[in-house]
Amino acid sequence: MAVPPKVASRAAKLRAEIEEHNHAYYVVDAPTISDAEFDRLYRELEALEAAHPELVTPDSPTQRVGGTAASSFAAVRHRVPMLSIRTETDTSADAAAKFDARIRRELRLGDDDPAVEYMAELKFDGLAISLRYERGLLAVAATRGDGEVGEDVTANVRTIRAIPQRLRGTKAMPAVLEVRGEVYLTRRDFDALNARQQAAGLKLYINPRNTAAGAVRQLDPAMTATRPLRFFAYGLGETVGWRVPATQSELFDVLAGCGLPVNRDRRVARGAAELSAFHREVEARRAELPFEIDGVVYKVNQIALQQQLGFVTREPRWAVAHKFPAEEMTTEVLAIDVQVGRTGALTPVARLKPIFVGGVTVTNATLHNEDEIRRKDVRVGDAVIVRRAGDVIPEIVKVLVEQRPPRTRAFVMPERCPECGSKVVRLPDEAVARCSGGLVCPAQRKQALLHFASRRAMDIEGLGDKLVDQLVDANLVHTPADLYKLGIAALAELERMAEKSAANIVAAIDRSRSTTLARFIFALGIRHVGETTAKDLARHFGNLDALIEAGEAALLEVRDVGAVLAQSLLQFFAEPHNREVIAQLRAAEVHWPEESLQRAPVGALAGMTFVLTGTLPTISREEAKDRIERLGGKVAGSVSKKTTYVIAGSDPGSKLDRANELGVAVLDESKFKDLIDGVR
């Protein structure tokens, strides 16, 4: 059946409009609509493409997320090698003069000849990527690899919204345009990602560079899509049917005109003096940049001169990286304060006598946790050596014990949260002490609200990061219960929030009043309580009051609840502030169906473990998982000898192979339904 012309036209318009908003948000950094309005347009396009699959195009915004997980990456041979820029070992200001002198010698320029023109850029601390566009469409994305052969990471790179699927601007698209650039994470996004890791009890990432590289090389593109990756373009690979700009500076302008993000911190510099000035200026304000850098890059600006200078081994002669020096300085610890993070983690911070380190004045240094302070034995009044870790985060390297003043005292972590007065707890086998007042602690407020509103919790559509920031900053919301007091008028006064958008948010909040006990427990954000544990608790206790009043012995009876998780539950419900917020939520008529209040009997699938793989024809994986768990079964993420059944749909992947290898029974959707119907 042919697609109605109006539907096809609307889909095309939506695709163009969504990409325009993506460009405004991720490339220009000047969004023109609210997140809720963007989500509405995206969902409309999704619905049209679901109803008419023939409308789906390779460059549709809906094709950015997901895809089939790869077992490994295919090799990609670079038509034009991806060479590394030589790094100057001399980090002093003399490095620019040495580079300029070498270039002048190579070009056989005399003292009377004019200064060489260079492009001075930032040296990003990310992952180098090559993007191959064919007739304007992104065809292949590859890592640098060894410079000659990289890895095909196209499916993952398509999830990066800053990278256009289709080039903009010119009507006559080149047959081939390979763009070289850097994938990176901003400091803010990296901190937020680590906050989520910490809240989930997972291992923290080391630094933005490694995290970005690991995300691009994920075997599952859906995992890459959860990482807020960004991109800057700065060079070329192979080109066919395209006029190469005359200068590096012009290249940046042309790439920006194609819809590719380019960094604005660049300058045409004439001679060594202007290169050195750029280096000094960037070093002085590098800490203010939203992303990490470890130096600057100098390139001969004229492309013709670049070609004349050529290459040596694996490096271009016409470019050099001028890194910043790592500095260590001695100062004094004036005080040790405690900061409360968005996940409740208490971090001791040393307040320092101001010292100039690595181009910035440092007044604070993180001490990480109580164990780290004891290991280094940092005390108020100590003389310490300070370094900017990774050239970015100040840290205390060493205490000069021989200079310690008399009668200093060892640091002791406070027993009460400095932000809200709630009890400070430290669970077994954890280095981090935490505030137990999650729902009321000001420092944790935004994270608690975002988790509460998330899709798998209370599912309040449209309540995202930016809106939560405004609600908290405007003192409109202090706890999740305050969400249910919001009106359209108050919301409509917020930035980028029209009356219609405000009405949609209020309606979404109102819909969330009716939920399930499991979702409500998960929404509370209790440490170590994930979605599956919340379902187990709801199924075991049957009602919220029984869970709140349960002792340790009763909690340990719940499937997969151990001593650490039981302590986390006890500490959360023992905090009066948390009980008060729960009471307020109930008063706001947040409720769940009556049948959820009855203790669930042991299900007919108790003791069975299922693994889902592929796409089922008529039911979603979430629905299948819910049916299994309602009957007492467990859904696992990987196949093992303990797996009872593997339920396989289309495109099942390696889990089906593993099931066949271990001799685990495999069910299609029809047989799965027969099993479910037969045990009810």
| Pairing between β-strand 293-300 and β-strand 319-323 as defined by DSSP bridges | antiparallel
Question: Which is nearest to 216 in space by CA: 118, 287, 130, 345?
Answer: 130
Token digits for 263? 């960094």
State the DSSP H helix or E strand holding residue 627, giving kind and residue range, or none if neither: helix 621-630
Give the neighbor-by-neighbor strand order of the sheet with 117-124.
87-88, 319-323, 293-300, 117-124, 267-270
Residue with tokens 């080039």: 167
- The parts of the chain modelled with pLDDT lower than 50 are 66-71, 390-391, 595-601
Distance CA 662, CA 642 (A): 10
Active site residue 398: no
The domain made up of 328-403 has a fold known as OB fold (Dihydrolipoamide Acetyltransferase, E2P) (2.40.50)
Residue type, 256: A
The answer to whether the CB of 420 falls within 8 A of the CB of 442 is: yes
- The superfamily (CATH) of domain 87-323 is DNA ligase/mRNA capping enzyme (3.30.470.30)
How many Å apart are CA 572 and CA 423, to the nearest integer? 10
Nearest to 320 by CA among 255, 254, 276: 276
One-letter amino acid at 150 equals G
Catalytic residue among 13, 98, 123, 500: 123
Strands 645-648 and 609-613: parallel
Task: Specify the DSSP class assigned to residue 25.
Answer: I
649 in Cβ contact with 616 (< 8 Å): yes
At 481 the three-state DSSP class reads helix
How many angstroms separate the CA atoms of 598 and 570, rounded?
A: 22
pTM: 0.48
- CA 187/CA 334 separation, integer angstroms: 27
End-to-end CA distance of the chain: give it in Å, rounded.
Answer: 40
- CA–CA separation, 414 vs 424, rounded Å? 7
Q: Residue 600 has what pLDDT?
A: 41
Token readout for 63 is: 């094709």
How many Cβ atoms from other residues are within 10 Å of residue 167's Cβ? 21
Beta strands in 251-374 (DSSP E): 267-270, 293-300, 311-312, 315-316, 319-323, 328-340, 346-357, 360-366
Alpha carbons 645 and 657: distance in angstroms, whole number: 13
The distance from CA 349 to its chain's CA centroid, rounded to whole angstroms, is: 25
CA distances from residue 334 to 81, 386, 402 in whole angstroms, order as listed: 53, 14, 17
**Residues, the chain:** 680
Query: Look-up: residue for tokens 């405007």?
Result: 474
Beta strands in 28-126 (DSSP E): 75-77, 87-88, 117-124
| Torsion (CA) 663, 667, 671, 677 in degrees, nearest 10 | 90
Counting other chains too, the contacts that 395-401 makes at CB distance below 8 Å and 24 or more residues apart are 395/365, 395/366, 396/333, 396/350, 396/365, 396/367, 397/328, 400/330, 401/377
Residue 599 per-residue DSSP state = P
- Distance separating alpha carbons of residues 351 and 566, to the nearest angstrom: 37
Residue 313: burial class (beta carbons within 10 Å; 0-12, 13-18, 19+): exposed
Which sequence spans correspond to the domains of the chain? 5-63, 87-323, 328-403, 442-597, 609-679
- CATH number for 5-63: choose from 3.40.50.300, 1.10.287.610, 3.20.20.140, 3.50.7.10: 1.10.287.610
- Which overall architecture, per CATH, does domain 609-679 show? 3-Layer(aba) Sandwich (3.40)
Q: Which DSSP string corresponds to 429-449? A: T-S--EES-TTT-GGGHHHHH
Torsion of the alpha carbons at 73, 77, 78 and 84, rounded to the nearest 10: 70
Quote the DSSP letter at residue 558.
S
Instruction: Report how far residue 268's alpha carbon sits from residue 271's, in angstroms, rounded to the nearest whole number.
Output: 10
Residues with Cβ within 8 Å of 438's Cβ and at least 6 positions away in sequence, in order, are: 344, 444, 448, 524, 525, 526, 527, 572, 578
Amino acid at 341: G
Helix (H) or strand (E) holding 130: strand 127-134
Rounded alpha-carbon distances, angstroms, from residue 581 to 439, 441, 562: 7, 12, 26
C-alpha–C-alpha distance, residues 635 and 652, integer Å: 16
What is the token pair recorded at 306?
A: 């670049």
Question: Considering the domain 442-597 in this protein, what is its CATH number?
Answer: 1.10.150.20
